Amino acid sequence: MVHVFQVTLLEQRTRNAKIQEYLYRHVASSSIPKQLHCLALRLANEHASNAAARLQLPSAEHVPALVDNSYYHFVLASDNVLAASVVATSLVRNSLRPHKVVLHIITDRKTYYPMQAWFSLHSLSPAIIEVKALHHFDWFTKGKVPVLEAMEKDQRVRSQFRGGSSAIVANNTEKPNVIAAKLQALSPKYNSLMNHIRIHLPELFPSLNKIVFLDDDIVVQTDLSPLWDIEMNGKVNGAVETCKGEDNFVMSKRYKSYLNFSHPLISKNFDPKTCAWAYGMNIFDLDAWRKTNISLTYHHWLEENLKSDLSLWQLGTLPPGLIAFHGHVHVIDPFWHMLGLGYQENTSSADVKSAGVIHFNGRAKPWLDIAFPKLRPFWAKYVNFSDKFIKGCRITAT
């Protein structure tokens, strides 16, 4: 009897320690590091005082390339200057034809001046870099934007939930990994406009036929121009499947991992065994997209989730994306998108080196203190730690 009690006590202590670790990671990943805050402030000051930090991006002679479909067009939506700089640098440095690369950076109003200052002062020529805030897009300023309305409602619904992370952690019956998932659902990232805006790409870039969308927590390790040679067979979204791995975090996901199949609205419309796919490095055929009702479907299901008090799903933009793009996904080779570097440190370094694009999805972002030491160098190699802004804000390689 004593032995059973000791085992039970040990199990409870192990569970509590695991939950405390998840809570610490939640707090650490949800806050803005003071170094990144410092970087944004210094760049904003530079923008105000230095004409060289206020250059038109791109320069006038390169403006026609922004709508020229003979170029390779990439889109990055981010309010994190340091993260955006790594994506841009790794993309251009590994390109075999950088003079054909156009990177469209979308940011929000508060980050626009720091972002413009950074890329004005850190040229990636011959690649062409465009920096725009959402309020600079004509389409975005005309009339109603469905995703903005949905987000406002989403924030109101979430604010009605009492207790937040403390209530989640206090639950004595749920498994630690379930608690971790619920904590992740509270992360500001999963409800940020930068995360949702990809559903409006056809409207934001009406002149473009095809783009590659990149998340700001990825690193490019190879030339991405072959993505334009992939035959999409009429599909809209070129993505890597995530249902054929054995890990618990990323590569073993089906619809049942993201959608609540105990809800009749989900169970009668979808198959729980359907393979999931990944956001983070996606080829979007915008011409094909414009012939579908994908965006309308996305917003319809956002509304349904809000009407049901977030009971259809809790976490971020992927669940409505899985629904909206259902039947419109072309599966691409996993080489183009290796996931999970923010979830587990035991990822093989050899596997990481051999991937075309690596993705630090998960809490352990490479710019945070909780980053995995073994994996962070794959990201840090694209940061110039001797740069005066990086150095001045005490952003270091470790």
In tens, the pLDDT along 251-291 reads 889 999 999 999 999 999 999 999 999 999 999 999 999 99
Would you call 239 exposed, middle or buried from its count of C-beta atoms within 10 A (0-12, 13-18, 19+)?
A: buried
CA atoms of 382 and 364, how far apart (whole Å): 18
Question: Coil, helix or strand for 91?
Answer: helix
**Domain that includes residue 297, residue range:** 34-392
Instruction: Tell me how many domains the chain contains.
Output: 1
Contact in structure between 282 and 237 (CB atoms under 8 Å): yes
φ and ψ at residue 281, rounded to 5 degrees: -145, 95
Q: Which residues pair with 132 in a beta bridge?
A: 106
Domain presence at residue 51:
yes
Contact in structure between 358 and 377 (CB atoms under 8 Å): no
CA atoms of 279 and 267, how far apart (whole Å): 23
Output the domain CATH number for residue 56: 3.90.550.10
Domain presence at residue 27:
no
Q: Which residues pair with 102 in a beta bridge?
A: 73, 128
Domain presence at residue 269:
yes
Can you list the positions of beta strands (E) in the chain? Answer: 72-77, 101-107, 128-133, 210-214, 218-220, 237-239, 281-285, 329-331, 357-359
| pLDDT score, position 27 | 47
Domain presence at residue 364:
yes
* Phi-psi label, residue 327: left if phi above 0, alpha if psi -120 to 50, beta otherwise: left
Q: Is the peptide bond before 334 cis (omega within 30 degrees of 0)?
A: no
Among residues 13, 82, 166, the alpha carbon closest in space to that of 371 is found at: 82
Residue 128 identity (one-letter amino acid): I
Q: Which pTM does this prediction carry? A: 0.86
Residue 197 is encoded by which pair of tokens?
A: 């805006």
Domain presence at residue 5:
no
Residue 46 is encoded by which pair of tokens?
A: 């530079």
CA atoms of 47 and 87, how far apart (whole Å): 22
Contact in structure between 243 and 276 (CB atoms under 8 Å): yes
φ and ψ at residue 218, rounded to 5 degrees: -110, 165
Q: How many CB atoms lie within 10 A of CB 258?
A: 21
Domain presence at residue 4:
no
Domain presence at residue 2:
no
Q: Tens-digit pLDDT profile for the chain (398 aa)? A: 555 555 566 666 665 665 555 444 544 445 568 999 999 999 999 999 999 999 999 999 999 999 999 999 999 999 999 999 999 999 999 999 999 999 999 999 999 999 999 999 999 999 999 999 988 888 766 665 666 666 565 555 555 544 555 555 455 556 655 555 555 555 555 556 777 889 999 999 999 999 999 999 999 999 999 999 999 999 999 999 999 877 767 888 999 999 999 999 999 999 999 999 999 999 999 999 999 999 999 999 988 988 888 889 877 789 999 999 999 999 999 999 999 999 888 888 999 999 999 999 988 999 999 999 999 999 999 999 999 999 999 999 88
